A = this chain, B = another copy of it.
């Protein structure tokens, strides 16, 4: 197995020209694409339809290039779009391709990626143990698929999960069912949290018996250090992309990770870079920065309203959602360190890293 990674810029959510160029140039075989992980320029909250627009645009291109039907593409490729490109964050997509070359690995641990899907969830199942359990199950399947035995070799598990809308809540009610929370914006958090807990159980980060419905979005001492989950209106199931290092991979890429303790924890970013294999002294040189393909991080407003003992206004700002504030900060800090604003920062880190912080993963090419 050989994994290739391409980061492409997007001038709009439906701009897939850069991928088209890579295909035309023979650098990407459209039939080998297994995942598209995008940052799109919506608000990243409930009514962000840039995610759907990007998904339909990439899917259409792959359909046209492969001749596959929509159903076939949807089964073979995971499209995980995360909305919100605040501050200097640059809209982009990361394309993962898998080439089954039959070659044995190099003996070194190299980037391995797999992707898959849970079943669809009913509105009343969203944000519940049903999501936890399904994400746990699929995460284990994806580890096996990626040829990773040791959970310590899993460095990032990206999940796209659904959210509740007014229409979906009414649908549940019409069938005599209640939903986990009636606020559509809050439903995003419940789904993100439940998905992350599923990963944490699968990887042995927390024991299965520690998690119950009451835990979800309440006991934040339980979390995964590698899950990154993002909610979107455009799907009803969870799409999962698992990334790690495997001796079975002959990829030119490696991945590492760390956990940011808060939104300005730049030292964790440096640790993640080091974890991926770059030996940096305090911060990367310009030359080293060029080896960094992308950084994937979660951003979140600390629930206390304080960072390093100082009050902030992310939770009391009724004009801008706190996830938008948080993404701007975390992206800015990472961009400064790696000399590139085109890094992936996704908001809402419920059960993903400690309160106010979150996982940060780095892919390097060398």
Chain A interface residues toward B at CB < 8 A: 9, 11-14, 41-43, 45-50, 52-53, 56-57, 85-91, 165-167, 170, 182-185, 233-234, 263-266, 281-283, 303-308, 310-321, 324-326, 328-333, 335-337, 339-342
A304 & B166 in contact (Cβ 8 Å cutoff):
yes
Question: With contacts A42-B49, A88-B310, A341-B308 known, is A185 near B318, CB below 8 A?
Answer: yes
**In the bound complex, how far is the Cα of B57 from the Cα of A13, in angstroms?**
15
- When distances are taken between beta carbons in the complex, the residues of chain B under 8 Å from A52 are 12-14, 53
Pairs A–B under 8 Å by Cβ, sample size 30: A11-B165, A11-B167, A12-B52, A12-B233, A13-B52, A14-B49, A42-B49, A43-B318, A46-B316, A47-B313, A87-B325, A88-B264, A88-B307, A88-B314, A89-B313, A90-B307, A91-B313, A166-B306, A170-B305, A184-B315, A264-B332, A264-B336, A265-B336, A282-B283, A308-B335, A310-B341, A319-B319, A325-B328, A328-B328, A332-B333
Interface pair A313/B263, CB less than 8 Å apart: no
- When the two chains form their complex, are residues B90 and A166 in contact, meaning their CB atoms are under 8 A apart? no
Which among B14, B50, B318 is the interface contact of A45 at CB below 8 angstroms? Answer: B318
Q: A339 — nearest CB in chain B belongs to which residue?
A: B308
CB–CB A90/B312 < 8 A: yes
